[in-house]
A and B are shown apart, each in its own frame.
Chain A
Amino acid sequence: MNEITPASIGLSREDLPNSYIGRSVPRPNVPKLVQGRATYTDDVTLPRMLHAAFLRSPHAHAKFSAIDTARAKAVPGVFRVFTGHDLAKICDPWVATLDHLKGMKSAPQYPLPLNHATWQGEPIVAVVAESRAAAEDGVAALDIEFEALAAQTDMETALAAGTVVIHPELGDNLVFTRTAESGDVAAAFAAAHKVVEARFVTGRHTGVTLEPRSIIADYNPADETLTVYHSTQAPHMMQGVFAKQLRMKEGDVRVICKDVGGSFGIKVHVYPDEVAVAAMARIMGRPVKFVADRFESFVSDIHARDHRIKGRLAVDTEGRVLAFDIDDLTGIGPYSVYPRTSAIEGNQVVNLCGGPYDFKNYRCTTTVVLQNKTPTCQYRAVGHPIATAVTEGLMDLAAEALGMDPVELRRRNLIRDDAYPYTSPPGMRFEGLSHHASLNKLLEMVPLDRIRADQAEARQRGVYRGIGFASFIELTNPSPFMYGIGGARISAQDGCTVRMDPDGSIVASSGVTEQGQGTEAILAQIVAHGVGVPVNRVKIITGDTQTTPYGGGTWACRGAGIGGEAALQSAIALKQQILEVAGAMLQAAPETLDIAMGEITDKASGKPRMTLFELGRIVYFRGDTLPKDLQRELVQTRHFITKEYPFAFTNGIQASWVEVDPATGMVKLLEHWCVEDCGRVVNPMLVDEQVRGGIVQGIGGALYEHCVYDAEGNLLTTTLADYLVPMSAEMPEIHVGHVETPTRESLLGAKGAGEAGTAGAPAAIMNAINDALKPLNARVHEQPFTPERILRALGTIA
């Protein structure tokens, strides 16, 4: 079943070796997924393995001192109990700041806090037992007295006089603030024909990976090594983290990713409960497993997007954008999250607002403050959905104020396709984007005339439909300017080792990782293309720090652009080495030979000369027959890092067609379109599916998903029945189109595609809802756009 051969994807010998790039090759990983034969971390069982469960803070803010563990230790099956003080003896705390974010501060965080609980759900005490059930019994038998403290929950009052300061040693609750300013904003607003303004809110939400965070740590005291099976996006980074915090050498720590059940940025951070598991394994010299249950996921996976943004936009009589003036405020919980920090999301808002448009005057401030809520950090499309909602929401308000069609207003202001390289007002450098080509392509896909006619006809019947547009930019392929420059040990470089085995099989191991995106599928395509072999002859290895070249992993849309280029360069190097050997064997100049379909061919005639099977036999088993000084290294490693641009920006535009029921406030999604430009498309099917999945997560944030807290800082949405994620029945058909502007930084030319959908969808939906509500003089800018908020905007409820 499902064997992927050149024939099965419509390739002939004549197509090869140059045709795997741009083909919808099915993923070789999928058969095991559909048959239940994948191996996630929780599917791994080790000898003498113990299970951890955590007592989590029932208060948003509290002090605690005495912990009585006697009753817990007496529970059948319970092995040990660990407090913060126990772990602090062998595990150092971490502080999540970045040097290039000037003035940033955060408090030291321990795997388990010593005496200060700062969010409801924070892990406080760990119980280790022979089963998870016994460990939970042990947690229930712990006696700990909390002294509840007043909680700081409202970001608007976080810096007010007399407020609760969460970490008194920091002086206040301010983590970071930055203002980007260029041009003369005040003069631009003074001279404007129209000024529009609005207050936007993006709802705090979270990733909800269907596989919860999972880890098994196994310390072997005999050889002093720590092996960690970890559902993570960044195994090398975690290797460094475990080594540093546990005072070990990196070489003594191995991190292995089995199948990872979704990540979306959730699994690229350092979680105190996971470090605690590693510390406990180190102390006990036995493997310890921890898999978060869904309640724990909601209170301890990072949250994101808790922002309030005030925005103003000035336009002239022609509808040209004169200035954006934005004020962003975000609450990030009690700690900045290690090592990426929780200031990046706000910083991205500053970098990205107004991004698609050509204008001069810009001011944007972000203020990042502490709260007694679950920590926030990078989640899919970090900052982009926020910046896009503000920018595109203001653009639609401006179109209305000008009496101009929203598409026409965008066309007048989008950066011209021949204007690159281009530097945006906050200093982002764009190598090459295609806003106008993307808009034109979108308008070929969206039947706008039919939709407008349908809209007018429906309104006669009291049915309110609307269409909304959102242009966007997306940051991909990050260089060290994202994290490394700030002192974080996060690799922007990635490597790939490609080798040929005796039977002509190709094995490639890569530092980028697979969490379902299709990383391994595209690497196989690229390597097959680069070497010249059928794709079914290529095996890909990822997710093991002991067997793959050092790299950053998969995040920020870097798998194809960075990992893919490393794979391509190493595959090409292997091909050259193979041809050197073949040339010696065939007494031909290497440059007159080629490799196609796994055979050495004469380049000019295409005539087969020798199979790779035969070449492998001689190199590995009869090396004596080759010239003594012949290089025969059938393994090659190359690394890749971007050098010219800090980031490879992509662009795109989305359109959403919705129906709003003014009686109930319910939004029905009718259809959705997206055109995006991620440079070279390696596998169109996988890119389309990344875009669709991203759009649906954007839809979730726009309509359903919300981490709701009460005034005391208790999370109220801790089950999947309370926290709504998109389901199949409510989702629209999503149409995806592409424009390809390859980056010139690499031979492959690929940029990232995983976050474009999430970046633009909420703004498109917001604009569609507001288009639908226009005849009713109602408007919403606060996500999620729940029935309650829509009814409130309509004045139906107070």
Chain B
Amino acid sequence: MIPISLTVNGEKVVRHVEPRRHLIDFLRLDLGLTGSHAGCEHGVCGACTLRVNGKIMRGCLILAASLDGADVVTIEGISESGEVSDLQAAFVARNAAQCGFCTPGMVMTAAELLAEAGTPTRGEIREYLSGNYCRCTGYQAIVDAVEDTLRSRSAKP
């Protein structure tokens, strides 16, 4: 077992982990943070997308043992901080989530795009989200929700 000490959603966490424990299992099984989902466990589907040291990453491709000293933010953290409450409201208004299994990862990816504060086209939004699979919506409503949020943010002084 390997000792690690890290910050998760602003809280100090100290644990011992098996070397093979990946971050998504660490969050879900050891910390009870079940908002991030294990969809494929080989880094393709994006359902486990979360933020490590300020950048979005795949929770299923990172070993928890490698995260001593890291700063991890999950969907729970980003929801509580209110960073993307406008984006989340746009998801509701556009019905940009159906079964919702991909949604936390999708929100984490879109949050990074919003943080870049650019003016992407719909095509560029689609490209940005293309590492996150959604099996229900066909993506259009998600693109709409992100576009709506970008537009309303850029309209604000």
Contact = CB atoms under 8 A, between A and B. Distances in A.
B20 A133 contact: yes
B137 interface: yes
B64 to A, nearest CB: 13
B75 A35 contact: yes
Given A30-B92, A260-B99, A689-B141, A35 B79 contact: yes
A30 B34 contact: no
A725 B133 contact: yes
Nearest to B107: A34
Interface string A9-39: 0000000000000000011011111111111
B116 to A, nearest CB: 17
Interface of B: 18, 20, 28, 34-42, 44-45, 47, 74-76, 79, 85, 88-89, 91-95, 97-104, 107, 122-123, 125-127, 129-143
Interface string A406-431: 00000000000000000000000000
A27 B142 CA distance: 15
Contacts of B107: 34
A728 B126 CA distance: 5
A504 B156 CA distance: 41
B39 A211 contact: yes
Contacts of B40: 294, 719-720
Contact of B44 (A31, A518, A721): A721
Contacts of A2: 88-89, 92-93
Nearest to A35: B79
A720 B140 contact: no
B139 A731 contact: yes
A516 B100 contact: yes
Contacts of B36: 36
Given A210-B39, A726-B138, 5 more contacts: A1-B88, A34-B103, A36-B34, A262-B99, A262-B101
A689 B133 contact: no
Interface residues on A, range: 35 or more
Most A Cβ at <10 Å: residue of B42, B125, B136, B137: B136
Nearest to B21: A133
A731 B138 contact: yes
18 contacts: A1-B85, A1-B92, A30-B91, A30-B95, A34-B79, A34-B97, A36-B75, A43-B28, A210-B39, A211-B99, A261-B101, A294-B40, A516-B98, A689-B137, A695-B138, A719-B44, A720-B133, A727-B130
A648 to B, nearest CB: 23
Given A36-B79, A727-B133, A729-B130, A210 B45 contact: yes
Contact of A294 (B41, B123, B136, B139): B41
Interface in A476-529: 515-518
Given A36-B35, A731-B140, A208 B135 contact: yes
Nearest to B137: A693
B97 A33 contact: yes
Contacts of A294: 39-42, 45
Interface in A330-354: none
Contact of A35 (B18, B44, B88, B99): B88
Chain A at the B interface: SS class: loop
A294 B134 CA distance: 15
A113 B39 CA distance: 28
Interface string A78-112: 00000000000000000000000000000000000
B111 to A, nearest CB: 11
A728 B100 contact: no
6 tightest A-B contacts by CB? A36-B35, A33-B100, A516-B99, A261-B101, A36-B75, A696-B138
A515 B135 CA distance: 12
A115 interface: no
Interface in A725-750: 725-731, 733-734
A693 B93 contact: no
Given A33-B103, A36-B35, A729-B130, A693 B98 contact: yes
Contacts of B45: 210, 294, 720
B126 A26 contact: no
A685 B37 contact: no
A38 B97 CA distance: 12
Given A719-B40, A720-B42, A731-B140, A36 B85 contact: no
Contact of A209 (B18, B34, B132, B135): B135
Interface in A691-731: 692-697, 719-721, 725-731
A259 interface: yes
Contacts of B123: 729
A261 B47 CA distance: 11
Nearest to A699: B138
Nearest to B42: A719
Nearest to B130: A729
Interface string A119-150: 00000000000000100000000000000000
Contact of B100 (A261, A729, A734): A261
Nearest to A210: B101
Contacts of B125: 728
Nearest to B102: A210
Interface string A233-264: 00000000000000000000000000111111
Contacts of A531: none
Contact of B34 (A43, A260, A695, A720): A43
Nearest to A4: B92
A506 B91 CA distance: 26
Given A43-B34, A719-B40, A36 B104 contact: yes
A81 B108 CA distance: 40
A271 interface: no
A224 interface: no
B95 A27 contact: yes
Given A133-B20, A720-B44, A728-B129, A30 B100 contact: yes
A171 B100 CA distance: 46
Contacts of B79: 34-37
Given A210-B45, A261-B99, A261-B100, A26 B93 contact: yes
Contact of A692 (B85, B135, B140): B140
Contacts of A264: 135
Given A2-B92, A261-B99, A692-B138, A36 B74 contact: yes
Nearest to A514: B99
Contacts of B134: 210, 728
B135 A725 contact: yes
A275 interface: no
A32 B139 CA distance: 19
Contacts of A30: 91-92, 95, 97, 100
Given A210-B45, A689-B137, A720-B44, A515 B99 contact: yes
